[in-house]
Amino acid sequence: MDDIGTLYIVATPLGNLEDITLRAINTLKSVDSIACEDTRRASILLRHIGISGKKLISYHAFNEAKAIASILTLLENCLDVAVITDAGTPAISDPGFALVRRAYELPAKVIPVPGPSAVTAALSVCPLPVHNFFFAGFLPHKKGRKSKLEFLASIDSTIVFYESPHRIMKLLREIDTYFSGSQVFIAREVTKLHEEYLCGTPSEMIERFTGEKAKGEFVAVVYPKAK
């Protein structure tokens, strides 16, 4: 694989730009191109860490096939590419998985540059047992949502969800229905200015957010058995 470029999967800050690693900075400086979800947001980060003039490739869910073709061409021409998302680790409920699969088929080296992840950040400060957990990510919006919740409720494990501010109340009501007797830990706006961490029953969390226009991304950790 010496005659082909390397694909770096680079974790970037969830919110606080100081959370980027030295290795991530050096990698972003060294690669020929950076594939990113939003070039404007990427540019803010790159300016913060002193990188300018780097070729940016728009790579998101709506142009994935076209962007992957462009990135693979770069790799085939012995050029190195870094992939970043708007926040956190690529391919964890964010674009990246399809590109990684295709890069392996070339075959190209695919190297992780680990760092921030909303899952591990939330679990690290969670007061509920998390030694064994199931990462559910975002639930389907409609089709398959009920069956997915029924399956998750049958697992003897802590469950971790991602949720948007628009659907957090819906998720909390579903947790109250499907995970009777559970405890819930909510991590909101992790590492950002208005970050918040709450723990209680599903009904207590519903009461907390009732009447409030929820803002920010949420991580919901559900422990199925009340302590």
Asked if the model's pLDDT at residue 227 lies above 50, the reply is: no
Specify whether 139 is located in the same domain as 85: no
Backbone angles phi, psi at 146, to 5 degrees: -60, -45
Per-residue pLDDT averaged across 139-143, rounded?
Answer: 93
150: which 2 tokens?
A: 């029924």
Phi/psi of residue 38, nearest 5 degrees: -135, 110
Tokens of 21: 């690693």
Clarify whether residues 154 and 72 are in a common domain. no
Cα–Cα–Cα angle for 42, 121, 129, rounded to 5 degrees: 160
Q: Are residues 186 and 104 in the same domain?
A: no
Residues whose CB is less than 8 angstroms from the CB of residue 22 and which lie 6 or more positions away in sequence, other chains included: none
Q: What are the tens digits of pLDDT across the range 142-182?
A: 899 999 999 999 999 999 999 999 999 999 999 999 999 99
Six token digits for residue 15 = 């919110």
Instruction: Extract the tokens encoding 24.
Output: 């991530």
What percentage of residues in the chain have a pLDDT greater than 90? Answer: 91
CATH number of the domain that residue 62 is part of: 3.40.1010.10
Q: Categorize the per-residue pLDDT at 213 as very low, low, confident or very high, splitting at 50, 70 and 90.
A: confident
Q: Looking at the structure, do residues 40 and 125 belong to the same domain, yes or no?
A: no
According to the model, what pLDDT value does residue 56 have? 97
pLDDT for residue 55 is more than 70: yes
- The larger pLDDT score, comparing residue 142 to residue 45, is at 45
**Whether 142 and 172 share a structural domain:** yes
Q: Does residue 137 have a pLDDT over 90?
A: yes
Contact 201, 184 (CB under 8 A): yes
DSSP notation for 187-212: EESTTSTT-EEEEE-HHHHHHHHTTS
Let me know whether 109 and 134 are in one domain.
no
Question: How many domains are there within the chain?
Answer: 2
* Residue 1 lies inside a defined structural domain of this protein: no
Q: Which domain holds residue 203?
A: 119-223
> Could you give the percent of the chain with pLDDT greater than 70?
98
Helix (H) or strand (E) holding 7: strand 6-10
Is residue 58 one of the residues assigned to a domain? yes
